[in-house]
């Protein structure tokens, strides 16, 4: 966690949003907010762009689709002169009642499943990496009730001129913050 933060604590998400709207219009950059549940609309006041995790998911899904098609088509790679793709290690064409071997309709279910498998797991793993979450990580809290019923707004003290700090803290208090303080 960053040092030198101005921390305002609210017990009502609506008042916190009013305060955020106000200081956002005053041009105060918000460092982060900590809330017990997702508060909708908060992104606009904090200049949070939409996450690109959806793009990551799409890319992983495409990888899953390609992997599935290579896996299944690779089984018949000798028959279709695809072995130069380096697929000969899985090539084992089976003749089952003389049915067509590269029956792509039969490949749809597994291609779909592997697309979903890669897209879902790839996206969630990417989320844990970008959010820097891992099992056993110690949570850095500004209030020990911020996961229960306290709504915390943190403002970067380095980006506020020291003579304006007092005014800002007063604005936050007027909006209903029950506690406004500075961290070391």
Partner 1 sequence: MHVESSVRTKLITNVNEYTQITDDIARPIEAAPNKQWMFWTIVSAIVMTMGFALIGWTLWEGIGVWGLNTEVGWGFDITNFVFWVGIGHAGTLISAVLLLFRQTWRNSINRSAEAMTIFAVLCAAIFPTIHAGRVWDLIYFGPLPNTRGTLWDNFNSPLMWDVFAISTYLTVSLVFWYLGMIPDFATLRDRFKRQGKTTASNVYGIASFGWEGSARNWSRFEIISLILAGLCTPLVLSVHSIVSMDFATSVVPGWHTTIFPPYFVAGAIFSGFGMVQTLLVIMRKVYKLENYITIEHMENMAKIVLATGSIVGLAYSTEFFIAWYSGSFFERYVFINRAFGDYWWAYFAMFSCNVITPQLYWSKAIRQNMTVTFILSIFVNIGMWFERFVIIVTSLHHDFLPARWANYTPTFVEIGIFIGTFGLFFTCFFLFSKFLPTINMFEVKTLLHHPRKPKGIPNGVKDDSHSHH
- Scanning 36-44, 78-86, 163-171 for contacts with partner 1 by CB under 8 A, the matching segment is 36-44
Specify the residue, 80 or 127, whose C-beta has the smaller distance to partner 1.
Answer: 127
Question: At closest approach, how far in Å is the CB of 84 from partner 1?
Answer: 18
Contacts of partner 1 in 157-176 (CB under 8 A): 173-176
Does the protein bind partner 1 through residue 75 (CB under 8 A)?
yes
| C-alpha distances in Å from residue 93, one per residue of 83, 84, 96, 111, 114 | 12, 16, 10, 19, 21
Contact 165, 156 (CB under 8 A): no
Q: Which string of x and - marks every residue 41-60 that binds partner 1 (by CB under 8 A)?
A: xxx--x-x-xx-xx--x---
Among 59, 82, 117, 171, binds partner 1 (CB under 8 A): 117
Residue 39 contacts residue 56 (beta carbons within 8 Å): no
Name the β-bridge partners of 5: 156
Six-digit token string for 174: 């007027």
Phi, psi for 123 (deg, rounded to 5): -65, -45
119 touches partner 1 by CB under 8 A: yes
Out of 65, 66, 82, 90, the residue judged to bind partner 1 by CB under 8 A: 90
User: In the complex, what is the shortest distance from the CB of residue 163 to partner 1, in angstroms, rounded to a whole number?
Assistant: 24
Q: DSSP label at 122?
A: H
């Amino acid at each position: 966690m960053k040092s030198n933060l101005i921390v305002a604590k609210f017990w009502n998400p609506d008042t916190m949003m009013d305060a955020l709207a106000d200081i956002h219009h005053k041009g105060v950059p918000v460092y982060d907010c900590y809330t017990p549940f997702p508060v909708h609309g908060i992104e606009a006041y904090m200049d949070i762009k939409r996450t690109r995790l959806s793009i990551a998911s799409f890319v992983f899904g495409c990888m899953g689709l390609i992997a599935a098609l290579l896996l299944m088509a690779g089984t018949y790679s000798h028959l279709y002169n695809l072995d130069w793709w380096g697929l000969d290690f899985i090539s084992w064409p089976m003749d089952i009642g003389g049915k067509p071997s590269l029956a792509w309709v039969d490949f749809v279910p597994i291609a779909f499943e592997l697309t979903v498998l890669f897209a879902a797991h790839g996206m969630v793993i990417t989320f844990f990496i970008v959010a820097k979450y891992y099992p056993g990580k110690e949570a850095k809290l500004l209030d020990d009730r911020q996961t229960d019923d306290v709504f915390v707004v943190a403002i970067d003290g380095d980006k506020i001129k020291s003579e304006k700090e007092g005014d800002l803290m007063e604005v936050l208090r007027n909006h209903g913050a029950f506690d406004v303080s500075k961290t070391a």
